[in-house]
Amino acid sequence: TREFRKEMGVPISKKVKLVVAENKLDINNIKLVKSTEAVICKTANIESIVWVDSEPENSVSYICELGQFFMFKNDLFDAEKEILKLKKELEKLNADIEVLQVKLANPNFVEKAPANVVNAERERFEKSIALKTTIEEKLKELDLTTTKQTLKERFWRVRDKNQMLKDTVLIGLLS
């Protein structure tokens, strides 16, 4: 999990939940993980190990010699902060793209600048466009993730309020 945290940019100091999908491990590895759960949690700074039947939604997977493990995306990073960071990066990138478009559309620049400079600017423009596409895709994915999470939270809040109301009515009827 330390390697996985490093790949994902999650500091080792942050406690996360390790999700184990029993259908992704063989029986011997399930027994091994269960018997060493406390050691795994202590050494990898895992808050807890969550046992599930199958691959959980809203998670990222980590494969090691024992099998496939998961961590919830929301535990790994703050989606709202990541969205703000990506939007800021996208604004800067759009400004760079605009400058490059103007520069490359200028016939004086294209004709008078050395060919290697013009080619370098074209290459930078193409890379910027590709990066813009990647960032926009990440933003869509993160926005979808936060929307799903928000909807789930709202559902449980409404469900809990309705249950509290039912309990209050039931207590009132019983007294």
Task: Find the helix or strand (DSSP H, E) in which 67 lies.
Answer: strand 67-72
Local confidence band at 145 (pLDDT 50, 70, 90 cut-offs) = low
Identity at 74, one-letter amino acid code: N
- Mean pLDDT lowest among 5-9, 68-72, 99-103: 5-9
Q: Where are the alpha helices (DSSP H) in 9-114?
A: 27-35, 37-44, 73-76, 79-105, 107-112
* Nearest residue to 104 via CA among 87, 136, 126, 132: 126
pLDDT at 68: 83
**pLDDT tens-place string over residues 105-127:** 999 999 999 999 999 999 999 99
pLDDT at 76: 73
**pTM score:** 0.49
Local confidence band at 16 (pLDDT 50, 70, 90 cut-offs) = confident
Residue that the structure tokens 């013009």 belong to: 118
CA 27 from chain centre, in angstroms, equals: 30
pLDDT at 84: 85
pLDDT at 104: 94
Residue that the structure tokens 């759009």 belong to: 94
Q: Are 1 and 62 in contact (CB under 8 A)?
A: yes
Q: What is the largest CA-CA distance in the chain?
A: 91
